[in-house]
């Protein structure tokens, strides 16, 4: 897929109404700091369209990036790890939960997990919730540049095991540093965009 145009179109906070988009949405979810915003930048060939930080808890709103006037990438606040108050974490959780439950145009969820670590209970709960809502999340194993090639297959199996993913769920190793996995993810996106086109 060729990215011709990408721009941040809508930003929603805790009390905002969600936009009524008429184009398909692809969402990116995962623990704070796992690399959601970095993945979006990598897919769009942009350095810092989506704001990133080494401090967990950077993305605090639902950010809709309009791509080629045909779809949206939706960046979400992370869960779990951010060093912010419990109350704020709860609010972000409510906000993303409301998005997953009510967005009419959300078609595909990419769920990110750091390739170095076993997914947490929060990750497993998120995967289950998304599945129960009718999504079949595609798993992205992020920061693959941080492990040795020889560890890759084992780490991927571990993610599949701990998340207890449904048969056939793709798990794609990805690195925002080397670009590993980027083309494969873009291929999924163009296939789904075609499939869900009006
Ligand atoms: N080595 C390496 N670092 C990465 C990669 N992806 C992201 N990072 C780093 O991880 C940190 C967090 O990245 P973000 O993209 O801001 O993560 P996020 O999931 O959007 O985080 P929140 O918005 O806080 O939920 C930043 O310091 C990134 O530079 C990667 O593939 N490899
Ligand atoms: Mg972010």
Task: Classify residue 150 by its DSSP letter.
Answer: G
User: Which among 68, 155, 70, 78 has a CA at the least distance from the CA of 119?
Assistant: 155
pLDDT of residue 121: 97
- Structural domain contains residue 143: yes
Structure tokens given for 21: 């988009």
Task: Return per-residue pLDDT of the chain as tens, 198 residues.
Answer: 889 999 999 999 999 999 999 999 999 999 999 999 999 999 999 999 999 999 999 999 999 999 999 999 999 999 997 788 999 999 999 999 999 999 999 999 999 999 999 999 999 999 999 999 999 999 999 999 999 999 999 999 999 999 999 999 999 999 999 999 999 999 999 999 999 886
Q: Does any ligand 1 atom lie closer than 6 A to the CB of residue 54? A: yes
- DSSP run (H or E) holding 44: helix 36-44
- DSSP run (H or E) holding 120: none
Instruction: Dump the DSSP string for 96-113.
Output: HHHHHHH-SSEEEEEEEE
- Structural domain contains residue 170: yes
- Structural domain contains residue 90: yes
Protein residue with its CA nearest to atom 7 in ligand 1: 35
Number of domains forming the structure of the chain? 1
pLDDT of residue 83: 84
pLDDT of residue 198: 61
Structure tokens given for 31: 């623990």
- The closest ligand to the CA of 176 turns out to be 1
Q: Does any ligand 1 atom lie closer than 6 A to the CB of residue 89? A: no
Q: Does any ligand 1 atom lie closer than 6 A to the CB of residue 68? A: no
For ligand 1, mutation pick of 11, 93, 176, 178 (most atoms within 8 Å of CB): 176
Q: Does any ligand 1 atom lie closer than 6 A to the CB of residue 145? A: yes
Q: Which domain holds residue 108?
A: 6-195
For ligand 1, mutation pick of 32, 33, 65 (most atoms within 8 Å of CB): 33
Please state, as a whole number, how many other Cβ atoms lie within 10 Å of the Cβ of residue 66: 17
- Structural domain contains residue 1: no
* Ligand 1: centre distance to CA 113 (Å): 11
Question: What is the CATH classification number for the domain harbouring 145?
Answer: 3.40.50.300
Protein residue with its CA nearest to atom 11 in ligand 1: 54
In sequence order, the 6+-apart residues with CB closer than 8 A to the CB of 90 are: none
């Amino acid at each position: 897929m060729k990215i011709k145009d990408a721009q941040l179109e809508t930003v929603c906070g805790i009390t905002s109404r969600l936009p009524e988009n008429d184009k398909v949405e692809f969402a990116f979810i995962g623990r704070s700091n796992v690399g959601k915003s970095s993945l979006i930048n990598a897919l769009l060939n942009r350095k810092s369209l989506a704001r990133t930080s080494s401090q967990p808890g950077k993305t605090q709103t639902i950010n809709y990036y309009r791509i080629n006037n045909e779809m949206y990438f939706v960046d979400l606040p992370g869960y779990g790890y951010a060093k912010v108050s419990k109350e704020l974490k709860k609010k972000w959780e409510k906000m993303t939960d409301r998005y997953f439950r009510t967005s009419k145009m959300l078609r595909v969820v990419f769920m990110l997990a750091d390739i170095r670590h076993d997914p947490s209970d929060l990750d497993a709960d998120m995967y289950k919730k998304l599945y129960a809502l009718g999504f079949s999340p595609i798993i992205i194993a992020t920061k693959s540049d941080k492990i040795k090639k020889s560890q890759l297959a084992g780490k991927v199996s571990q993610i599949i095991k701990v998340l207890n993913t449904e048969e056939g769920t793709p798990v794609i190793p990805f690195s925002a540093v080397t670009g590993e996995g980027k083309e494969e993810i873009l291929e999924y996106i163009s296939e789904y965009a075609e499939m869900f086109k009006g």
